[in-house]
Structure 1
Amino acid sequence: MSDAAPPEVPRRADLDLLRVLLCGAVLLIHALMVHAEDPRYHVKAPESWWPATLLSHGLRVGALAGFFALAGWGSVGALRRRRAGRFLGNRAARLFVPLAAGLLILGPVIKYIELGQGRDLRLAGFRLVEPLAMPFGDFLPRYLTRLSLLTWSHLWFLAYLLLLTVLLLPMLAALARRAPLQRVPSRAAIWLPGLGLGFWLAVSGGYWPALHNLVQDWANLGHFALCFLAGAVLASWPGLEARLRAEAWTLAGLFLAGLAGLLLFGPSLPGRIAVGICAWGAIGAGFGLVGRYPPRPSAALRWLADATLPVFVLHHLPLLAVAVALLPLGLPPALAIALTVAGGATVALALHGFLVLPQPALRRLMGLPSGPPALPDAALQTSRL
């Protein structure tokens, strides 16, 4: 493919909004996990709260599926404008660099908090341990010299996304070379991707347990690959996007039906089918609703959309710190969750705006270009994560 790019497409405010909503959902998931039933988390409240369990399941299925789909959509757009080699170099800078920085800078503190809570999430799985009682200065050299202590925490998403980008590059490039397909599929066609995702999870035994350590997580990696490809297909098939907009509320109902099946059947064959249906409902409803009710473009929306990757990288440590500080207070779970989300989001946005953006070196560490931010009119949606 030559470097001569097709005419630049205007930035899509609807997908900017979707990206911001998904990033906010991730923050909420992490706050909910403190109070949800699943024990595999860095910090846990003494007792679980059933609304947190319900919401964490729905958001975890929907937000992750949506984020991978959005990344697939952006990858096809980026490959329309640059060679595969330059595309991979760009993705390495946007994904591998913040992943490595997070392992070395954020990982030690997150692991210190986790062990201090008597919990240990590692490659082999999850276990309860005696709470760590040593100064952080003594723990840091251990973290940096013992592979078993390394944690990528929430940054597993970047590792998975980078791996999928490399593995699926031929398919992404083929979709990018195709002329956009304008034909609008039938209403019946919108059900097929959900059945496909459900079938994969059923035969592979995916979703349960949700321990994203890559080595033992091939079933979920395959699920995320299918979500990623769903977004890539959407980028090459505007007619399918049009169908999603027309059926957006039906797809939202499909998401809720899948969530109900997940909660009803649990870790079983029908439960896993329900997870796939829930994931596709979230992807379809997400793209469909923001396209059906697009926001007005604004500088604030652009700024927030551009901040999603740094905020995603930075938010988890302050969020965990706030959660640890709130637990001894015995607050009602809903209030504790709200304060935890607000605290994590506020610190992450402040770090991004006042520390990361002004410093070229920190911009690179967060996966952003080292130069000053591009002017809004020159920024392309297809170049985003």
Structure 2
Amino acid sequence: MATYRPAATRRTDLDLLRIIVCGGVILAHALLIFAAEPRYHVKSAAPWLPATIFYEAFRISTLAIFFVLAGWSAVASLRRRPWQRYLRDRAERVLLPLVAGVVLLGPVIKWIELGQGRDLRINGFRLVTPPDYGFVEFLSRYFGRVQLLTWSHLWFLAYLFVISLALLPVLLRLARVPRREWMPGRVLAFLPAAGFALLILTTGAYWPFLPNLTQDWGNLLYFTACFLAGGVFAAWPGWEARLRAEAPWLLAMALAGLAIVLLAGEGVVGRIGVGLCAWGSIGAALGYAGRHPPSPSPLLAWLGEATMPVYVLHHVPVLALGVLALGWGWGPMATVLFAWPLATLLSLAAYRLLVQPFAWPRRLVGMGPAPQPPKTAPGLGGGIFRPDGVA
């Protein structure tokens, strides 16, 4: 049996992966304006096939990888602190940003959505007549009617909070066992894909995608499986080493699964394709990132710390820029290439100018206090996706 030798450096590969995936989420939301999926805040008059294809790929891969990274970080966190502090951390860095986002960002997102004649509620979606009153009047209605409240993209935080608490006994166990350094055989690099496919198939996960938590048990269980896989990776680094060895084949599996999804659509075969694509994406992403870890740098540290705030903030500029481009009559490609990079830059600027220097804005987007100057090597900041510690 081959043996995995743990590295002595920080997991800069996971930090870079988290940054890339966050950028992929922003791109996915820009693509969603033109994808065939009808349930979104802003939509074009007609779908665009390339947007549908690439959105499907990003939706399957980025969500699965984000939950895996969060599971990895949870186990790493529990190695360094008691479970009571972990629960407090989840409340401060997951629940608080969710509530703050619903209160501070939700009204703007909902106003944009209603202005497009769309009403995406926690219990469904419908077309509506755009409001004939102003934003100030809308605010009183937003906070006075539960049905108008929206968590939009921050549904991820609600699911993450529930999963983090529900799996606490398992996470504690994974954090306390000695790390398994031996590398398993090739079969374990691919076998979980069958488990993912079976889980998605039997629970009816993935379609339709309306993350309301209370009536979305299939997706909740699916994301729980992704989160748990990340926790197991943290306890068994040898398994990650096997993924690195099989990264090209895992990428091929992901692409094959995506092709099945696109060709078969909703149904039994399509859900099997989702499972194959999700696990292949997880394995290929971790595998290739581990093969080429970047050197620590101030830019990597800054972007790593910015990931959570940018995720929280990015949806408002994506939607606003999408509305502008649609109003100007721009085509799909021009709109995506306009909204994606500019929304990313605006989110980073908002983080740098309005969040990073100040204590309360940091807390509201899930960050800890501003770090003190390091005495040794620089850290990588805080965040629910951050892989604390070394491997």
Using structure 1 for the length normalisation, give the TM-score. Answer: 0.95
CA distance in 1, matches of 2:262, 2:144: 41
Name the structure 2 match of 1:184: 183
> Structure 1 counterpart of 2:186, which letter?
R
Q: Deviations over 1:131-165 (max 9, x none)?
A: 22210000001000100000000000011001100
Name the structure 2 match of 1:303: 302
CA distance in 1, matches of 2:161, 2:153: 14
CA distance in 2, matches of 1:324, 1:384: 31
State whether residues 111 and 135 of structure 2, in contact with CA within 8 Å, keep that contact through their aligned partners in structure 1: yes
Q: Deviations over 1:147-205 (max 9, x none)?
A: 00000000000110011000000001101111011121111221111110100111111
Name the structure 1 match of 2:16: 17
Distance change >3 Å, CA 205–CA 260, structure 1 → 2: same
Q: Does 2:368 correspond to 1:365?
A: no
CA distance in 2, matches of 1:9, 1:167: 32
Distance change >3 Å, CA 356–CA 48, structure 1 → 2: same
Q: Does 2:87 correspond to 1:96?
A: no
Name the structure 1 match of 2:42: 43
> Structure 2 counterpart of 1:214, which letter?
L
CA distance in 1, matches of 2:162, 2:227: 12
Name the structure 2 match of 1:156: 155
> Structure 1 counterpart of 2:60, which letter?
V
> How large is the RMSD of aligned CA atoms in angstroms?
1.6
Q: Does 2:263 correspond to 1:264?
A: yes
CA distance in 2, matches of 1:243, 1:74: 20
CA distance in 2, matches of 1:374, 1:175: 32
State whether residues 28 and 58 of structure 2, in contact with CA within 8 Å, keep that contact through their aligned partners in structure 1: yes
CA distance in 2, matches of 1:327, 1:380: 38
Distance change >3 Å, CA 356–CA 383, structure 1 → 2: closer
Q: Deviations over 1:334-378 (max 9, x none)?
A: 121011111211111001011101111111111111334663835
How far 1:55 moved relative to its partner?
0.5
Using structure 2 for the length normalisation, give the TM-score. Answer: 0.94
Q: Per the alignment, in what secondary structure is the counterpart of residue 120 of structure 1?
A: strand
Overall identity of the aligned pairs, in %: 50
Name the structure 1 match of 2:213: 214
Q: Deviations over 1:178-234 (max 9, x none)?
A: 101112111122111111010011111110001111122110000000000111111
4+ aligned runs moved over 4 Å, structure 1:
380-384
Instruction: Show structure 1 runs of 5+ residues with no match.
Output: 1-7
State whether residues 18 and 290 of structure 1, in contact with CA within 8 Å, keep that contact through their aligned partners in structure 2: yes
> Structure 2 counterpart of 1:312, which letter?
Y
CA distance in 2, matches of 1:311, 1:224: 21
Q: Per the alignment, in what secondary structure is the counterpart of residue 22 of structure 1?
A: helix
Instruction: Show structure 2 runs of 5+ residues with no match.
Output: 1-6, 386-391
> Structure 2 counterpart of 1:229, which letter?
L
CA distance in 2, matches of 1:228, 1:185: 20
Name the structure 2 match of 1:286: 285
Q: Per the alignment, in what secondary structure is the counterpart of residue 121 of structure 1?
A: strand
The count of residues paired between Structure 1 and Structure 2 equals 378
Q: Per the alignment, in what secondary structure is the counterpart of residue 195 of structure 1?
A: helix
Q: Does 2:276 correspond to 1:273?
A: no
> Structure 2 counterpart of 1:15, which letter?
L
Name the structure 1 match of 2:84: 85
CA distance in 2, matches of 1:371, 1:382: 9
CA distance in 2, matches of 1:236, 1:381: 22
